[in-house]
């Protein structure tokens, strides 16, 4: 793919409204955009979705940046890959660091698609020209406030509402929501806030006809989720626990979930996402695409993977304006009546807008071909 240079654009973006989950509140979103530049000056873009702190998973942005600078950037430049599907293999000797790997792997896919002059979704094997989207709403201080938020988003046309729950903000909150909205497609995401000791609470949620409950138990657990799924009717959807093809396979075999939320960053990139997609399809496990409060680049990558056939349920790929006063891409992502049109432009389908990006840029780091070729691995 002839990569000459890698730029890491580190951004600080302000969330339009703070986003609260069981593990904390996000006000500023630190974003890293990986730009791969080839010998002809063509650029491919990917987004590293690691959080600022290791609260969702063990990864965090400062560490991911070191991992890209020290390992994955130089390795990619040294490699002779001719297709982005091989990038995962190149990175494989270095364990985990999925979000670091994904930031650069997704950029390689965008670059390749642009080199071919084709939209990324077609290169990935997608066949949808539009995708259904839902919205993920953070915890609010009161039931009245979350009900107001839901009303607004239902009116905007989002096809599925996800609310965050945590111990003490669960059964009664969902009951209050269901009293006002008895029939909307509704689900709850616990972000691993419960244990099997809470099984009575989780059983009570069966009453509310939720589409699914996302990641109720430990963030790396597969075994206890299988026990829980036998005790509750609500389908379990795994998020945090699925960080590779191997543990997707384990979860499916053990019956730990009936649905999987695929996050490209969490599983190390698009190649691994496709592997999980194919496995889930064979096993009749429906998928949807999760989000990590991405800026436009990551959002477009997510939309591209959602065009694969087994992404059956609406994803967390809402409009840019749901997250940001101004996104860093032109045009921005717009969901109309809960549907996003997939762009047919080459690559991810929109331009990174450097004028917009400059306003939120902290710093750009560079990995040159010269530096990369000097580095020795595996001696
Ligand atoms: O668990 O899906 C999650 C945001 C940050 C970290 C984890 C999660 C989320 C969301 C929002 O639910 C998804 C989005 O809209 O990008
Ligand atoms: Mg989740």
At 353, list the tokens: 């807008």
- Tell me which residue has its CA closest to atom 5 in ligand 1: 292
Ligand 1 atom with the smallest distance to the CA of 322 is: 15
Q: How far is Cα 90 from Cα 219, in angstroms, rounded to an integer?
A: 27
Tell me, using a 6 A CB cutoff, whether residue 191 lines ligand 1.
Answer: yes
* 378 part of a folded domain: no
For CA atoms 335, 341, 342, 344, the dihedral sign is negative
Q: Are residues 252 and 147 in the same domain?
A: yes
pLDDT score, position 57: 96
Dihedral of alpha carbons 240, 241, 246, 249, sign = negative
Catalytic residue selected from 164, 203, 249, 281? 164
The question of whether 166 is a catalytic residue gets the answer no
Ligand 1 contacts CB of residue 293 (under 6 A): yes
How many domains, the chain?
2
Q: Give the pLDDT score at 228.
A: 98
pLDDT tens digits along 186-216: 999 999 999 999 999 999 999 999 999 999 9
- How many A from CA of 48 to the centre of ligand 2? 17
The confidence score (pLDDT) of residue 378 equals 79
Decide: 282 and 253 in contact? Cβ < 8 Å. no
State both tokens at 54. Answer: 């290791």
Does the C-beta of 59 come closer than 6 Å to ligand 1? no
For residue 200, give the 3-state DSSP assignment: helix
List, for residues 151-191, the tens digit of each pLDDT value.
999 999 999 999 999 999 999 999 999 999 999 999 999 99
- Bridge partners (DSSP) of residue 236 are 213
Same domain, 345 and 368: no
Is any ligand 1 atom within 6 A of the Cβ of residue 239?
yes
* pLDDT for 377: 86
Pocket test for ligand 1, best of 59, 293, 305, 340 (most atoms within 8 A of CB): 293
In ligand 1, which atom is closest to the CA atom of 291? 16
**Ligand 1 atom 4: residue of nearest CA:** 292
**Two tokens at 320?**
């840019």
The CATH code of the domain that includes 37 is: 3.30.390.10
| Whether residues 16 and 36 fall in one domain | yes
Nearest residue by C-alpha to atom 13 in ligand 1: 291
pLDDT given for residue 143 in this prediction? 98
**Ranges in the chain, pLDDT < 50:** none
From 21, 57, 165, give the residue whose CB has the most ligand 1 atoms within 8 Å, as the site to mutate. 21
Kindly report whether the global pTM for this prediction surpasses the value 0.85.
Answer: yes
Residue 206 structure tokens: 């069966």
- For residues 112 and 184, state if they share a domain: no
Cβ neighbours around 5 below 10 Å, total? 20
- Examine the domain organization and report whether 136 and 23 are in the same domain: no
Determine the Cα–Cα distance for residues 217 and 369; give it in Å rounded to an integer: 44
| Domain span holding position 24 | 3-117+355-373
Active site residue 12: no
The per-residue pLDDT for 266 is: 98
- Residues contacting 52, CB < 8 A, separation 6+: 28, 30, 60, 61
């Amino acid at each position: 793919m002839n990569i000459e240079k890698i730029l890491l654009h580190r951004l600080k973006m302000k969330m339009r409204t703070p986003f609260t989950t069981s593990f904390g509140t996000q006000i500023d979103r630190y974003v890293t955009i990986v730009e791969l530049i080839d010998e002809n000056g063509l650029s491919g873009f990917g987004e590293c979705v690691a959080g600022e702190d290791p609260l969702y998973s063990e990864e965090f942005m400062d560490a991911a940046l070191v991992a890209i600078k020290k390992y994955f950037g130089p390795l990619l430049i040294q490699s002779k890959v001719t297709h982005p599907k091989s990038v995962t293999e190149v990175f494989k000797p270095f364990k985990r660091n999925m979000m670091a790997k994904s930031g650069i792997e997704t950029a390689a896919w965008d670059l390749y698609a642009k080199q071919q002059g084709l939209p990324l979704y077609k290169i990935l094997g997608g066949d949808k020209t539009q995708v259904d989207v839902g919205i993920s709403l953070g915890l609010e201080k009161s039931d009245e406030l979350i009900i107001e938020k839901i009303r607004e988003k239902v009116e905007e046309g989002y096809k599925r509402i996800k609310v965050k729950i945590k111990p003490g903000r669960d059964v009664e909150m969902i009951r209050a929501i269901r009293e006002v909205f008895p029939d909307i497609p509704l689900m709850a995401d616990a972000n691993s806030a419960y244990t099997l000791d809470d099984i009575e609470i989780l059983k009570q949620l069966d009453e509310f006809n939720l589409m699914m409950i996302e990641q109720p138990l430990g963030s790396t657990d597969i075994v206890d989720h299988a026990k829980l799924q036998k005790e509750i009717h609500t389908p379990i959807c795994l998020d945090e626990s699925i960080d590779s093809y191997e543990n997707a396979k384990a979860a499916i075999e053990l019956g730990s979930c009936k649905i999987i939320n695929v996050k490209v960053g969490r599983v190390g990139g698009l190649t691994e996402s496709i592997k999980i997609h194919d496995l889930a399809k064979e096993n009749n496990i429906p998928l949807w695409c999760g989000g990590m409060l991405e800026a436009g680049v990551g959002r477009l990558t997510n939309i591209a993977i959602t065009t694969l056939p087994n992404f059956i349920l609406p994803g967390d790929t809402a409009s840019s304006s749901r997250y940001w006063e101004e996104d860093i891409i032109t045009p921005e992502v717009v969901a109309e009546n809960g549907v996003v049109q997939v762009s047919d432009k080459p690559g991810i389908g929109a331009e990174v807008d450097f004028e917009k990006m400059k306003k939120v840029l902290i710093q750009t780091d560079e990995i040159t071909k010269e530096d990369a070729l000097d580095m020795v691995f595996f001696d």
